[in-house]
């Protein structure tokens, strides 16, 4: 499947549906170790992305991703808003004016997204944040970079799932969950989970 | 969940409508993005002191907008920090040549969103500074946490910075004063029950009937330990000890004592706790020169309280005493 | 039961100690019997407006002692009206030649104890009058009940009678004015949860997760009906309807709208409800000229709210606007 | 047993113990249809009576009863304080300066107590208040007026028990419980219950 502005928009719509379906789960994860809003925040943001896409789909893949970025920044709030917003913004920056995104370009964009999140939030691997889903996802994507878009995203999503899973045993050091210290052990980080959900939705959409 | 609301998604917007209707003489509410600004904004020749954060902590911040305190408040969704464009809109609606000071409570979300807003505003040529308040002694300020949270001290900071701006201090001076306040204010909170966020629909955490959470933030986030219920004497003694030894506050220090209800704790209990705190501070030779008692920075309907101590000097006392006219704090006007 | 207390038996006495410490500039607390009096009492040449009742409704009444409002407050045990000797002590501590007006909320206990106190004081040659406020439209005023209860209107009455006394009105005039206020103020309350009285140790009544009590008094006593939860729009519409049609308030009437939290309802919900009430009154052509929004007459930690409407005229508006300096209401000073 | 100042004081102490033992029950009854303070109020009042008697026992029966009356008035508050206070005050008035109370005088005092409660509170029989325990108690006492103190009080206590029981089926018309209307049915009136408890305590003390 070609990765154009149109298919990217469709993937974002698919992601919005997945987030809406997991809204309660993300709230519950955040309730356990944070402030019970991550599902609501993500749902508000992706619902707004769908509305924006309903009005008009920008011409280039970069513009679509940038629209998602600015919408997330202006609608989500909380920690997740600026972090995901920056991720999409940096990814968009990589895409340039390409009319279609190929495997290697996608991998570059994913790497840029990760770097953006780390630049903004200063979290490293093992801090029990969305970074723990993103780092293995980007590595897996890089390894699969020769295969097609769908395969790359599938590999990333698989790795993100494992990464999210790994946060269950970690003591958080960033974000609200860090206040809990040892007590946060046994809970999956909501942002890591939403990262894994988004990558899975993109992978499915690319099939 | 039982709440007086129509729809979790519209709670903040509808509430702001009521705030605007109730206090039209003092403030107005602008929509999309939602911000609360002084009725007489923009403020020519005066620094605009602006704060904001997730909603659900009322009267913070909207209830502190008005003469002698905040120029604007930026309310996010319940317990969710507002977005950069809302903060930027508040700056544009209130700040003139004298610039703006953003008061940011130290939570990852608030810091990231306000930082971005400050960059956006600066890019448009506005003189915007920000200070981050982190007065909660319950959190160890180490690389293992997001750092100390901004809690009760925020109310005192907003009053004092607002008073400095009102008397015409320049941005440099208001900022320096804000940093001074942040340097000498410390707080600790406890929760007896959990708040219920409207969109979540159930209590944010589970606390047994015989447990309290010692060292909570304003969303009920945990801090030091979950412990058994204790008498008010024991509880307040532990709280006073935690706050006093942190700065530390010493014998002979003049302080403002702020005894705050987290929302659900009734005044009869709050004054009881306040009386104990006054006694314990007197025993330590710490001189309470000013006090504030009531629900000023809350966590929805959560039962619990916080104690905040601010070390006073003549300038801070004068700024605290200066006239203020906001929905939640008013004197001298 | 989780509360910030030491011992249910000493809650009120300890709480008063904290009140006294927090507001020494405005009031003082006398012990045995416990009363709260203005710092500058006795009041030469001015009528002493005095109220009181069971504790647990704070800031009512102790939080309204001060310049321009109450000369004294008489706090009983939690939810238990004070005894006659306490009321008499309050009269003696504050009243001079100008006499005293007792504001009594219509509950059997309050009426009986204040009546006895008035007799005792009169026997000592003091000019003491009393008025009974019964503004709660939830109770049918028939021989089948103890009559309408005194609720939210009490706060407005205390402010207005206090302002009249402060400007030097004679006892006859203050009493007449108080009766006028009582004649044109109406209230209704709802409860979402029950309060827990410290000595009882468990909630005063049981309310299912999907039920509310429509038409409660300030102890959560029931009134009209126990009903299913509803949206804020529906709830406030029912409340406005009940209050407006009772007096009735008519198109063109100028009113003060008082939106009160029963304690546990957070401000974000209260302002939301206030906004709805403003809209509904506007639709009826009733002109809201003044408003008060907040937890002013509460029922411990009970979640719920009340709406009070007072029909205004120029004199009442002027007295409402007059300066007041108490712990809970302050402006113009 | 002779009814002197001493034995009356002992009866009041016995009554205080009974009230203390039933404090929780009276709170619970009041919780159901009132404001959950009746047991606390009565316990506070009778504890204060015991303290007062510990200091000095007045010389005459009338003075002992008057001490109880003024203590209740100044310590109980609520509706029960003035009502019980008035009851004891009126009873004391009947006792004059007798050094010992006999059956007929006791009955007169009980009647005066009832009249005092009704004068203050304006409740009639059937309003579901303490009056519903007092009316049958006084009638029973009057019928037993020829027998001894103990027998009179026993008869009164038996009747008061039944009277209190009768409030279960009534719709209250006075006091806080009246706000409940029909919903108060099925609950015993706390003041009627405390009246029955007091009379039973006096009867036991007189044995
Ligand atoms: N400094 C950080 N770096 C990376 N991710 C972070 C950081 N702080 C928080 N997060 C992520 O944000 C998620 C919480 O987002 P959300 O609940 O929407 O915001 P908030 O914490 O402000 O309520 C966490 O689960 C975590 O994955
Ligand atoms: N008007 C009245 N006449 C007689 N008894 C009354 C009256 N009003 C209330 N009572 C009695 O008082 C009892 C309640 O007393 P208490 O709970 O101590 O006071 P409160 O009702 O003020 O909380 C009721 O159970 C009832 O027996
Ligand atoms: Mg969160
Ligand atoms: Mg949040
Ligand atoms: Mg009572
Ligand atoms: Mg009672």
Min Cα distance C217 → chain D (Å) is 9
Chain A contact for B77 (CB, 8 A cutoff): yes
Closest residue to atom 7 of ligand 1, CA basis: A175
Sites in chain A below the pLDDT cut of 70: 1
Tell me chain D's radius of gyration from C-alpha atoms. 16
Interchain touch A–B (≥3 Cβ pairs closer than 8 Å):
yes
The CATH number given to C185-324+327-331 is 3.30.1180.20
Name the percent of chain C lying above pLDDT 70.
Answer: 100
* Residue C123 CB partners (closer than 8 Å, separation 6+): none
DSSP-derived letter for residue C148 is P
Please give the full DSSP string across A137-151, using - where no structure is assigned: HHHHHHHTTTS-HHH
Distance CA B151, CA B157 (A): 10
B47-65 tens-digit pLDDT: 999 999 999 999 999 999 9
Residue D126: CB atoms within 10 A of its CB come to: 15
Q: Give the pLDDT mean for C192-219.
A: 93
pTM of the model: 0.95
Confidence of residue C218 (pLDDT cuts 50, 70, 90): very high
Closest residue to atom 27 of ligand 1, CA basis: A191
> Using CB atoms within 10 A of its CB, is residue B45 exposed (0-12), middle (13-18) or buried (19+)?
exposed
C61 with C110: CB under 8 angstroms?
A: no
Contacts of C16 in chain B (CB under 8 A): 271
Min Cα distance C83 → chain D (Å) is 5
Interface contact flag, A74 B108, Cβ < 8 Å: no
Q: What DSSP element (H or E) covers B72?
A: strand B72-78
Parallel, antiparallel or unpaired: strands C128-133 and C100-105: parallel
Please give the positions of B annotated as active site.
Answer: 57, 219
Distance CA C59, CA D2 (A): 52
* Residue B320 CB partners (closer than 8 Å, separation 6+): B156, B159, B160, B163, B256, B290, B312
Min Cα distance B53 → chain A (Å) is 9
Distance CA B322, CA B159 (A): 9
Chain A contact for B141 (CB, 8 A cutoff): no
Largest CA distance in chain D: 48
Q: Is the CB of C145 under 6 A from ligand 2?
A: no
In terms of phi and psi (left: phi > 0; alpha: psi -120 to 50; beta: otherwise), the region of C261 is beta
Closest to B133 (Cα-Cα) out of B109, B155, B106, B156: B106
Is the N-terminal amide bond of C239 cis, ω within 30° of 0?
no
CA of D53 from ligand 5 middle (Å) equals: 26
Q: Is the CB of A172 under 6 A from ligand 1?
A: no
**Closest ligand 2 atom number to CA of residue C79:** 23
D140 with D159: CB under 8 angstroms?
A: yes
Q: What DSSP element (H or E) covers B324?
A: strand B324-325
Judge whether residue B122 has pLDDT over 80.
yes
**Could you tell me how many residues make up chain B?**
333
Interface contact flag, C116 D82, Cβ < 8 Å: yes
Catalytic residue (one of C23, C61, C199, C219): C219
Q: Is the CB of D41 under 6 A from ligand 2?
A: yes
Interface contact flag, D78 C217, Cβ < 8 Å: no
C103 with C154: CB under 8 angstroms?
A: yes
Q: Is the CB of A167 under 6 A from ligand 1?
A: no
pLDDT value, residue D1: 64
C118-170 tens-digit pLDDT: 988 888 889 999 999 999 999 887 777 788 999 999 999 999 999 999 999 99
Contacts of C268 in chain B (CB under 8 A): 11-12, 15, 55-56, 58, 78, 300
Torsion of CA B36, B38, B42, B46, to 10 degrees: -120
Residues pairing with C260 in the sheet: C294, C306
B187-244 tens-digit pLDDT: 999 999 999 999 989 998 889 999 999 999 999 888 789 999 999 999 999 999 999 9
Judge whether residue C174 has pLDDT over 90.
yes
pLDDT value, residue A1: 64
Tell me the residues surrounding ligand 5 (ion) with CB < 5 Å.
C 79-80; D 35, 37, 78
Closest to A92 (Cα-Cα) out of A80, A109, A115, A117: A109
Domain carrying residue A171: 5-206
pLDDT value, residue D65: 97
> Using CB atoms within 10 A of its CB, is residue C193 exposed (0-12), middle (13-18) or buried (19+)?
buried
* Residue B176 CB partners (closer than 8 Å, separation 6+): none
CB interface of C with D, residues 37-66, below 8 Å? 54
Chain D contact for C231 (CB, 8 A cutoff): no
- Sign of torsion over alpha carbons A69, A72, A77, A80: negative
Torsion of CA B259, B54, B198, A13, to 10 degrees: -170
Distance CA B256, CA B54 (A): 26
Q: Is the CB of A123 under 6 A from ligand 1?
A: yes
Strand, helix or coil for residue D67: helix
Distance of CA C88 to the CA centre of its chain: 20
Contacts of C118 in chain D (CB under 8 A): none
Closest to B145 (Cα-Cα) out of B190, B107, B183, B105: B107
Give ipTM to 2 decimals: 0.94
Tell me chain A's radius of gyration from C-alpha atoms. 16
Judge whether residue B106 has pLDDT over 70.
yes
Distance CA D84, CA C83 (A): 13
Chains that touch A (3 or more CB pairs under 8 A): B
Q: Is the CB of A41 under 6 A from ligand 1?
A: yes
Min Cα distance C43 → chain B (Å) is 23
Chain D contact for C6 (CB, 8 A cutoff): no
Q: Give the pLDDT mean for B13-31.
A: 98
- Give the CATH number of the domain where residue A12 resides: 1.25.40.340
Interface contact flag, A175 B146, Cβ < 8 Å: yes
Interchain touch C–B (≥3 Cβ pairs closer than 8 Å):
yes
Q: Give the pLDDT mean for D131-152.
A: 97
Distance CA B116, CA B111 (A): 8
Interface contact flag, B232 C6, Cβ < 8 Å: yes
Q: Give the pLDDT mean for B146-162.
A: 96
Confidence of residue C212 (pLDDT cuts 50, 70, 90): very high
C277-299 tens-digit pLDDT: 999 999 999 999 999 999 999 99
Contacts of D189 in chain C (CB under 8 A): none
Min Cα distance C304 → chain D (Å) is 17
> Using CB atoms within 10 A of its CB, is residue D54 exposed (0-12), middle (13-18) or buried (19+)?
exposed
Q: Is the CB of A110 under 6 A from ligand 1?
A: no
Which chain B residue has the Cα nearest residue A74? B83
Start and end residues for every CATH 3.40.50.10440 domain found in chain B: 10-183
Residue C314: CB atoms within 10 A of its CB come to: 8
First to last CA, chain A: 7
Chain A contact for B145 (CB, 8 A cutoff): yes
First to last CA, chain B: 40
pLDDT value, residue C120: 86
Q: Could you give the C-alpha distances from A76 to A38, B84, B168, in angstroms and in order? A: 9, 10, 36
Judge whether residue B79 has pLDDT over 70.
yes
Torsion of CA B206, B207, B209, B211, to 10 degrees: 170
Distance of CA A52 to the CA centre of its chain: 18
Torsion of CA B260, C206, C83, B273, to 10 degrees: -20
The CATH architecture that domain C10-183 belongs to is 3-Layer(aba) Sandwich (3.40)
Strand, helix or coil for residue D170: coil
Q: Is the CB of D172 under 6 A from ligand 2?
A: no
Output b/e per residue, D128-159; b: 16+ Cβ within 10 A: bbbbbbbbbbbbbbbebbeeebbbbbbbbbbb
Closest to B195 (Cα-Cα) out of B300, B61, B73, B324: B300
Give the helix ranges, DSSP H, for chain C. Answer: 11-22, 84-94, 108-123, 153-166, 171-183, 232-244, 267-283, 314-321
Point out the ligand nearest to the CA of residue A132: 1
Distance CA B115, CA A113 (A): 19
Interface contact flag, D179 C83, Cβ < 8 Å: no
DSSP-derived letter for residue D182 is G
Distance CA A34, CA B325 (A): 35
* Residue C161 CB partners (closer than 8 Å, separation 6+): C49, C101, C103, C174, C177, C178, C181
Judge whether residue B78 has pLDDT over 80.
yes
D73, D77, D176 member nearest C146 (Cβ): D176
A80-132 tens-digit pLDDT: 999 999 999 999 999 999 999 999 999 999 999 999 999 999 999 999 999 99
Distance CA C248, CA B313 (A): 55
A149 with A206: CB under 8 angstroms?
A: yes
Number of independent structural domains in chain A:
1
DSSP-derived letter for residue B23 is T
């Amino acid at each position: 499947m070609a990765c154009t502005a149109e298919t990217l928009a469709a993937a974002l719509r698919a992601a919005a549906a997945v987030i809406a379906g997991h809204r309660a789960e993300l709230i519950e994860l955040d309730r356990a170790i944070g402030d019970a809003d991550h599902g609501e925040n993500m749902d508000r943001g992706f619902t707004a992305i769908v509305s924006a896409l309903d009005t008009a789909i920008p011409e280039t893949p970069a513009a679509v991703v940038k629209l998602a970025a600015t919408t997330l920044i202006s609608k989500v709030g909380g920690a997740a808003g600026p972090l995901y917003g920056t991720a999409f913004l940096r990814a968009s920056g990589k895409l340039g004016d390409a009319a279609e995104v190929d495997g290697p370009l996608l991998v570059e964009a994913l790497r840029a997204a990760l770097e953006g999140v780390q630049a903004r939030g200063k979290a490293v691997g093992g801090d029990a944040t969305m970074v723990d889903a993103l780092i293995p996802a980007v590595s897996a994507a890089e390894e699969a970079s020769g295969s097609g878009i769908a395969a790359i995203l599938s590999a990333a999503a698989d790795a993100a799932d494992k990464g999210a899973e790994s946060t269950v045993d970690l003591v958080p050091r960033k974000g609200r969950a860090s206040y809990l210290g040892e007590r946060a052990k046994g809970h999956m980080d909501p942002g890591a989970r939403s990262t894994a959900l988004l990558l899975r939705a993109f992978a499915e959409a690319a099939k | 969940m039982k709440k007086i609301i129509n729809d979790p998604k519209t709670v903040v917007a509808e509430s702001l409508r009521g705030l605007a209707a109730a206090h039209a003489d003092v403030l107005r509410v602008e929509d999309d993005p939602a911000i609360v600004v002084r009725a007489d904004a923009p403020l020519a020749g005066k620094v605009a002191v602006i704060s904001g954060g997730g909603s659900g902590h009322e009267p913070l911040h909207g209830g502190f907008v008005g003469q002698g305190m905040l120029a604007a408040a930026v309310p996010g969704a319940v317990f969710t920090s507002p977005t950069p464009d809302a903060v930027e809109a508040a700056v544009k609606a209130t700040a003139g040549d004298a610039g703006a000071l953003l008061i940011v409570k130290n939570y990852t979300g608030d810091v990231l969103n306000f930082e971005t807003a400050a960059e956006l505003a600066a890019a448009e040529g506005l003189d915007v500074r920000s200070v981050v308040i982190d007065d909660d002694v319950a959190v160890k300020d180490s690389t293992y946490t997001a750092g100390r949270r901004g809690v009760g001290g925020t109310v005192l900071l907003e009053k004092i910075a607002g008073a400095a701006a009102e008397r015409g201090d320049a941005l440099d001076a208001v900022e320096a004063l804000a940093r001074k306040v942040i340097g000498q204010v410390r707080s600790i909170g406890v929760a007896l029950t959990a708040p219920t966020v409207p969109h979540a629909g159930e209590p944010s955490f589970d606390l047994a009937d015989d447990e309290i959470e010692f060292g909570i933030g304003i969303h009920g986030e945990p801090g030091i330990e979950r412990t058994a219920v204790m008498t008010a004497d024991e509880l307040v003694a532990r709280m006073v000890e935690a706050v006093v030894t942190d700065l530390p506050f010493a014998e002979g220090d003049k302080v403002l004592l702020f005894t705050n209800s987290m929302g659900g704790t009734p005044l009869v209990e709050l004054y009881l706790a306040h009386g104990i705190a006054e006694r314990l501070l007197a025993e330590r030779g710490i001189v309470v020169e000013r006090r504030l008692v009531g629900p000023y920075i809350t966590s929805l309907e959560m039962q619990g309280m916080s104690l905040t101590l601010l070390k006073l000097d003549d300038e801070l006392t004068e700024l605290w005493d200066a006239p203020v006219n906001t929905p939640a704090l008013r004197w001298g006007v």
